Amino acid sequence: MDPLRNVFSEAVLRCADLPQVGKEQVDDARQIEEHTFDSTYIEFLDEQIRLNARGDEWSKRLRKRRLQMAPLTDQRLISGRISIPDGDLSIEVDLATSRVVHWEEYCYVEQSNVP
pTM equals 0.88
pLDDT of 63: 97
* pLDDT at 15 > cutoff 80: yes
* pLDDT at 40 > cutoff 50: yes
In this prediction, what percent of the chain has a pLDDT beyond 90?
88
- Work out the widest C-alpha separation in the chain, in whole angstroms: 46
Q: Are strands 99-107 and 87-94 parallel, antiparallel or unpaired?
A: antiparallel
pLDDT of 110: 63
* pLDDT at 115 > cutoff 50: no
Nearest by Cα to 22 from 85, 109, 78, 110: 85
